[in-house]
Amino acid sequence: MARMPRLEIPGQVHWVGLRGNNAQTVFACEQDYADALAFARAAQAAHPVEVLGFCLLPTAMHWLLRPQQPGALSLWVQQWARRFVRSINRRHGRTGTLFEGRFRSGILQAPSHLLPCLWALDAEPVRLGLAAQAADWPYSSAAWYAGQGAALGADYGQQMAALLRTPEEIWQLGNTPFEREAQYAQGLQQAYTPAWMAALQAGWAVGDADFLAQLQADAGRRVQAAARGRPRKAQALIQPKKAV
């Protein structure tokens, strides 16, 4: 069966994930993380894609992106990955595949799903035991949106200011920066991994019925997984009487 084209719609929020091949380490030193962010800014300059949030982990990474033109998402990821893999191979004297196949991506409805997804991504280091608090992890957007970036140094703040586009959903958390940051920090404390993240990781879209119907019309393809198994047989409207 032919593989469906990637679900990519300009103006929509996309989760993008890459994992190390066979769970191998992707980021072995601080310079690897620094390169990942530098190459993300370079890809952003070349292709109209907004970076709304991200989390870089030792063996994987998550991006929350919003492309502005058709094909921009794939071009952004391809440029980023090409430069990053070349840098990693050169620095660590390695060859071969770094990532597990194609990058994964799915579309989520904003505003209903954006903050839960962003909180889940930013809180991933805590779930994995890499940090006591999400804002302690210097390789994600958590500290920036929670107003705790100063503890990570001036370089962190400069990188985030250059890379991130604050989504409208965060602006609506409060009337002042302090209110917004406090609300975001509280969301990080209560973060969980939504069940619908599995659908995003499988390449599908998540949202309400109206959103999914419009998305399917725009994409010209299915945006949700088909139900498993054979279709149910229609039941008779009038059931036959049992023999007495």
Residue 101 is predicted with a pLDDT of: 85
Residue 44 CA to residue 54 CA, distance in Å, equals 14
Buried-state track 204-222, b at ≥16 Cβ within 10 A, e below 16: bbbbeeebbeebeeebeee
Mean pLDDT by 10 residues, the chain (244 residues): 81 97 95 98 98 98 98 98 96 92 94 96 97 98 98 96 98 98 97 91 95 94 77 36 40
Residue 97 is predicted with a pLDDT of: 87
Residues 235/242, Cβ–Cβ less than 8 Å? no
Buried-state track 85-114, b at ≥16 Cβ within 10 A, e below 16: bebbeeeeeeeeebbbeebbbbbbbbeebb
DSSP H helical segments within the chain, as ranges? Answer: 30-46, 72-92, 114-122, 124-127, 142-145, 154-163, 168-171, 177-189, 197-201, 209-219
Domain ranges of the chain: 13-219
Instruction: Give the closest residue to 140 by CA, choosing from 170, 162, 164, 113.
Output: 164
Residue 189 is predicted with a pLDDT of: 94
Residue 226 is predicted with a pLDDT of: 80
* CA angle centred on 72, ends 164 and 35, rounded to 5°: 50
Which class for 133: exposed (0-12), middle (13-18), buried (19 or more C-beta within 10 A)?
middle
* Amino acid making up residue 189: Q
Domain 13-219, CATH homologous superfamily name and number: Transposase IS200-like (3.30.70.1290)
pTM as predicted: 0.89
Residue 4 is predicted with a pLDDT of: 76
* Helix (H) or strand (E) segment spanning residue 50: strand 49-56
Peptide linkage before 111 cis (omega within 30 of 0): yes
